[in-house]
Amino acid sequence: MTTPGRRSAGRPRQAEAIFEATLDLLAAKGYDGLTMEAVAERSGVNKTTLYRWWPAKDALLAAALIDSDVLAFPVPDTGSLRGDLMALAQAIAGLLTAEATAPIAIAVLAAAPARPHLAAVGASFFADRLGREQPVFQRAMARGELAATCDPAAIMDLLAGAIWFRLLLRGEPLTPEYLSGAVDLVTDGLPAAGRAG
C-alpha cells in the first residue's frame, strides 16, 4: 500500500495543530462557527500567522481538508481493481462513520449547497482525493481489467455517491454486504481492455 503523500507546497511549522483545530471547530460548531480567531485560540497560534498563510477561513478549511492527516487514508494496491475499489469503499465508509471524522464530512456536506465558497472547498477536496486514487485505475488499465476509455471520476462518483447517499440521505447502515454489492454493481458495468465501446 502506498500512503497519500501529496501536500500543499509550503506550510507553517504548526500546520497539523492548526488543521486539527480547524476541523475540530467545524465538527463542533459548523461552518458558521468556524472563525480564524477561534482557530488561532484553539491551536495556540497567533492570528497573524494564520492570515500570513491563508487569507480567509475558506482557504484554511480547504488546506485542512486536503492536507490534514485526520482525513487521510492509504491508496490500496490489492492486485485487482475489485479489491482496490472494495478497500476504497471501506475507507470512505470509515471516514463517514468514525467518531473523529463523520462530523467533519457532515458539516461540509450540509453547509455546501448554501455557500458557494464552501462548495468550492469541497470540490478541491474531492479533486485531490481523485488525484490520489489515479494509481488504482492506471494499474487496472495496465493489467487489462479496465478499458483506457473509462472515466475514473465517474467510477468514484458512482461508488462514493452510493455510500454517501445510503448513509446520509437514507439513514441506513454501511454493512459489509452493502459495500461489496455496491462495488460489484460498479465493476460489473465496467468494460475491460479490448471490450471498450
In degrees, rounded to 5, the angle at the alpha carbon of residue 101 between the alpha carbons of residues 20 and 103 is: 100
Domain residue extents for the chain: 15-67, 77-188
* DSSP 8-state secondary structure symbol assigned to residue 76: P
| Domain 15-67: CATH architecture, name and number where available | Orthogonal Bundle (1.10)
Task: Specify burial of residue 105 (Cβ count, 10 A radius: 0-12, 13-18, 19+).
Answer: buried
Sign of CA dihedral 7, 16, 120, 166: positive
**CATH superfamily entry for domain 77-188:** Tetracycline Repressor, domain 2 (1.10.357.10)
Q: Give per-residue pLDDT as tens, 28-51.
A: 988 888 999 999 999 999 999 999
Q: Give per-residue pLDDT as tens, 131-174.
A: 999 999 999 999 999 999 999 999 999 999 999 999 988 999 99
pTM: 0.81
The answer to whether the CB of 72 falls within 8 A of the CB of 64 is no
